[in-house]
Structure 1
Amino acid sequence: AQPDRFAAAMPSAGGCEPWNDMSRIVEVPIWTFHGDADATVPVDLTQDAFQQLNALNANTKYTELKDVGHNASAYGFAYTGDDPQRGFITHFASDQCDKTEDVWDWLFTQKCG
């Protein structure tokens, strides 16, 4: 990763293969979204990546969207906060994560380096 080039990342239904070196991205603020009903990219790939980043105390947060398929971006790019009744819950990998609930407010407060 290049924290001097990227201020943040906001993947949606991306997953991550288990052999990727997560230590390369611990400093980049990441907010990832994934639907638990995604039949295209298994949600466990994102869950596993988040657990690895959690173990590294990364600047990462993960929102899992209950009953949402591969169209997580439709929800993620309009996200304004958790909705426990719908099963939309954000998890934080460390205390350094920005707790801002609105996705665009969060994104535009991030800085490079």
Structure 2
Amino acid sequence: MTTPATVLRTAAAPLPGERAESFNASIHKRVALRYWLWMPDDAARPPWGWPLVIFLHGSGERGDDLARVKAHGLPKYAAAGRRFPFVLVAPQIPDGMAWDSDALEALRADLVARLPIDTERVLMTGLSMGGFGTWAYAMDYPDRLAGIVPVCGIGDSDRVERIRHLPVWAFHGALDDAVPIASDRGTVEALRAVGGNVRFTVYPDVGHNAWDPAYADPEMLDWMLAQRRASPG
């Protein structure tokens, strides 16, 4: 778990629309992330703040070129000009790294502290390696989120009881030969066995790229926006 962070930001206060920002924190280890931030039109802001969706990219988008994060999923739509009724944040990790739950928690805490965000409506989604990271963060910090949408990722079946209160909608391609569906199905079934709130969408004729149909599904966004944080107890 994190300790209080010392944060340095290199960007000014965000304006509606797209911004690139940097985040540095001193927890029990050094955290340095660059990320895209997309803000909705401030004129439409709810009095209690916007929902926040944190998007985790896959292994192919790692590196030091932040534009790579826009290749897939919600950032792809946002970069094309689509405006969402939530704050969208898409961090990037360097080559050779994997998603780290403590770093993501430090970022989440900073975002909700300084942006007009409804803390009861923070969600996380990610694809492939980002799907693994989404499952892991939820289990490491089970009281932070309102829901998760892991796409072609796998979670730890031995720890699913930690998130049995958390709404989950998982997506996978039946023909995936990079992240076999059997392992994801095992996570879902383990979560159902402990009374978890989980949906599982399988695309029968799709391989690893389950993210294109998943993020094109308008019902998924409606589902995310309908979730509110529940107590693990």
With the shorter chain as reference, the TM-score category is 0.7 to 0.9
CA gap 1:41/1:24 in 2 versus in 1, 3 angstroms: same
TM-score (norm 2): 0.37
Alignment of 1:1-113 (within 5 A): 1=139, 2-18=141-157, 20-80=158-218, 102-113=219-230
Measure how far apart 1:16 and its partner are: 2.7
Higher strand share: 2
Q: Root-mean-square deviation (CA), in Å?
A: 1.4
Between the two structures, name the one with larger relative contact order (CA 8 Å, sep ≥ 6). Answer: 1
The residue aligned with 1:99 is none
Number of aligned residue pairs: give it: 91
Unaligned runs of 5+ in 1: 81-101
Q: Distance in 2 between matches of 1:14 and 1:3?
A: 18
Q: Distance in 1 between matches of 2:143 and 2:162?
A: 13
Structure 1: 4+ residue segments shifted above 4 A: none
> Match of 2:152, SS?
coil
Aligned residues of 1:13 and 1:33 also touching (Cα < 8 A): yes
Aligned-pair identity in percent equals: 33
Q: Which has the larger radius of gyration?
A: 2
Unaligned runs of 5+ in 2: 1-138
TM-score (norm 1): 0.74
Q: Distance in 1 between matches of 2:221 and 2:211?
A: 13
Higher helix share: 2
AA matched with 1:11: P
